[in-house]
Amino acid sequence: MTQAPARSRTARRRHDRDIIALAVPAFGALVAEPLFVMADSAIVGHLGTAQLAGLGIASALLTTAVSVFVFLAYATTAAVSRRVGAGDLQAAIRQGMDGIWLALLLGAAVIAAVLPTAPSLVELFGASDTAAPYAVTYLRISALGIPAMLVVLASTGVLRGLQNTRTPLYVAIAGFLANAVLNVVLVYGAGLGIAGSAWGTVIAQCGMAAVYLWVVIRGARRHGASLRPDVSGIRASAQAGVPLLVRTLSLRAILMIATAVAARLGDADIAAHQIILSLWSLLAFALDAIAIAGQAIIGRCLGAGDAQGARDACRRMVEWGVAVGVVLGVLVVLSRPVFLPLFTGDSAVKDTALPALVIVAVSQPICGVVYVLDGVLMGAGDGPYLAWAMLVTLAVFTPAALLVPTLGGGLTALWAAMTLMMAMRLVTLWLRTRSGRWVVTGATR
C-alpha cells in the first residue's frame, strides 16, 4: 500500500527538478529581452524628447513584427523535444535547422517589406514631424537585424527542445551587456546619435545569432545532422507555425482592443492601463517560464512514448501554475503602495489603478493555469486547437470590452473583461487537456 504513494512522491520530485532546471533559466532569458529596449531608451532619452519619441514608435513596430514570429521558438521546441524523447538527436537537430532556415527566409522578407515602407509605417503610428525622422532612421537600421532576431527565436526553440535553457540565459545576458556598451560608444563616443543606438542593437543581435548558430552547428556536426536547407522540412516547420501565428495574432488583437478601450475612457484611465499592462507583462514572464518548461518536458515525454508521464507532468505543472499565481497575486496586493509611485505622482491615475490592480491580483492563479496548459498543448504540437481556442476567446472578449465605456465601471471593468478573457482561455484549455486528445505519442505528431 505504501509503494504507490512513494512512487508518486518520487515522480513529483523528478518533475519538480525538471521544471526548476528549465524554468528558472528561461525566466532569466525572458526578463533579459525587454532590457534591450530599456537600455536603448535610457541612452537615447538623453539625446532629446524627439529622439526618445522616435525610438518609442520604432521599437513598438519592431516588437510587433518580431512577436508575430514567436512561433519559431514554440513550434521548434515542440518538434525538437519530441525527437529528443524518441532518442533521435540527429533528427532533432535536423528539425531545428529547418526552423532556423525558415527564420532566415522570413527575416529577409521582413527587411524587404520594412525598408521601403518605413516612412509610411511611422506615419501610421501618428509620429510628430519632429519625431518621425528619428523613428524612420532607427526603424530602417534596426530592420537589418530582424533576421538575426528571428534566428535567435528559432535557435532558442532548438535548445529548449534539447532541454537546455541555460545557454539562452547566458546568451541573453551577454547580448544585453554588449548592447548597452555598444549603444554608449556609438551614440556618444562616435557621435552617431539615434543611428548609433540602432547599429549597436543590430550588432548585438547578430552576435547573439552567431553564438546560437555556432552551438547548433557544433551539435549538428557531432550527431551527423545535415546543415543544408531542406524544402520539405522548411515547409513542415512553416505549416506547424501557422496555427501558432493565428493564436499570437488573436492575442495581440485582444491587447490592442483593451488599449483602445482604455484610451476612450480618459487620460487617467489610459495612463493607469499602461502601468498595469507593464506589470501584467512582467508577471507573465514568470508564468511563461513554467510554460516553456512544459513545452520541453511534454514534448520529450510524448516523443518517448510515455503518455502517463506526460499526464503526470501536466498535472504537476498545473499545481506549480496555481502556486506561483497565488504568490504573484499576493505580491501585487502588497506592493501596490510602492509600485504605483514608481510610475506616476498623479493621484487620479493612482486612484484609477488601485482597484484594477486588485482584479489583476485575483486573476493570477487563473493566469498561472492558463500559461501552463498553453505550454503543455504547445509541447504536444496541438497548435490547431490553440488557434481555434484563441479565436473563440477573442470573439468572447471583444464585445465584453467594447461595452465597458457604455455600461460604465471604467478601468476596473476593463480589467474584469481581461480576467473574463483569461477565464475563457482556461475553460477551452482545460476541456482539451481533460479530453486526452492532446496525448499523441511518437517522434512526430
Rounded to whole angstroms, the Cα distance separating 39 from 259 reads 25
Assess whether pLDDT exceeds 80 at residue 127. Answer: no
Q: Using CA of residue 366, residue 369, residue 372, residue 376, what is the dihedral sign?
A: negative
Rounded to whole angstroms, the Cα distance separating 395 from 391 reads 6
Per-residue pLDDT band for 6 (boundaries 50, 70, 90) equals low
Q: What 3-state DSSP class applies to 220?
A: helix
* Percent of the chain as helix, strand, coil, to the nearest 5: 85, 0, 15
The per-residue pLDDT for range 304-328, each reduced to its tens digit, is 999 999 999 999 999 999 999 999 9
Per-residue pLDDT band for 33 (boundaries 50, 70, 90) equals low
The average confidence (pLDDT) of the chain is: 89
- Phi, psi of 273, rounded to the nearest 5 degrees: -60, -45
Averaged over 422-429, what is the pLDDT?
Answer: 97
Assess whether pLDDT exceeds 80 at residue 128. Answer: no
Assess whether pLDDT exceeds 60 at residue 341. Answer: yes
pLDDT of 278 reads 78
Alpha carbon dihedral 88, 91, 96, 100, in 10-degree steps, equals 160
How far, in whole angstroms, is CA 420 from its chain's centroid?
A: 21
Assess whether pLDDT exceeds 80 at residue 382. Answer: yes
| Long-range CB pairs of 60-64, under 8 A, 24+ apart, other chains included | 60/125, 61/121, 61/122, 61/125, 61/139, 62/139, 62/142, 62/143, 62/146, 63/37, 64/252
Per-residue pLDDT band for 4 (boundaries 50, 70, 90) equals low
* CA distances for 440 relative to 303, 308, 350, 380, angstroms: 9, 11, 49, 7
Per-residue pLDDT band for 26 (boundaries 50, 70, 90) equals confident
The per-residue pLDDT for range 293-305, each reduced to its tens digit, is 999 999 999 999 9
C-alpha cell at 265: 475612457
Averaged over 420-432, what is the pLDDT?
Answer: 97
Higher pLDDT pick, 335 / 317 = 317
The per-residue pLDDT for range 197-227, each reduced to its tens digit, is 999 999 999 999 999 999 999 999 999 998 9
Averaged over 419-439, what is the pLDDT?
Answer: 96
The per-residue pLDDT for range 233-249, each reduced to its tens digit, is 999 999 989 999 999 99
The per-residue pLDDT for range 88-114, each reduced to its tens digit, is 999 999 999 999 999 999 999 999 999
| DSSP per-residue codes, 337-401 | HHHGGGT---HHHHHHHHHHHHHHHHHHHHHHHHHHHHHHHHHTT-HHHHHHHHHHHHHHHHHHH
The per-residue pLDDT for range 388-424, each reduced to its tens digit, is 999 999 999 999 999 999 888 889 999 999 999 999 9
Q: Are 416 and 360 in contact (CB under 8 A)?
A: no
Rounded to whole angstroms, the Cα distance separating 77 from 155 reads 9
- Residue (of 41, 47, 36) closest to 187 by Cα position: 47
Radius of gyration in angstroms for the set of CA atoms belonging to the chain, rounded to a whole number: 22
Residues sharing a CB contact under 8 Å with residue 370, sequence separation 6 or more, in sequence order: 321, 422, 425, 426, 429
Rounded to whole angstroms, the Cα distance separating 37 from 59 reads 7
Residues sharing a CB contact under 8 Å with residue 107, sequence separation 6 or more, in sequence order: 146, 147, 148, 149, 150, 151
CB neighbours of residue 357 within 10 Å: 24
pLDDT of 1 reads 43
- Residue (of 59, 418, 415) closest to 269 by Cα position: 415
The per-residue pLDDT for range 156-171, each reduced to its tens digit, is 999 999 999 999 989 9
Rounded to whole angstroms, the Cα distance separating 197 from 141 reads 9
Rounded to whole angstroms, the Cα distance separating 256 from 71 reads 19
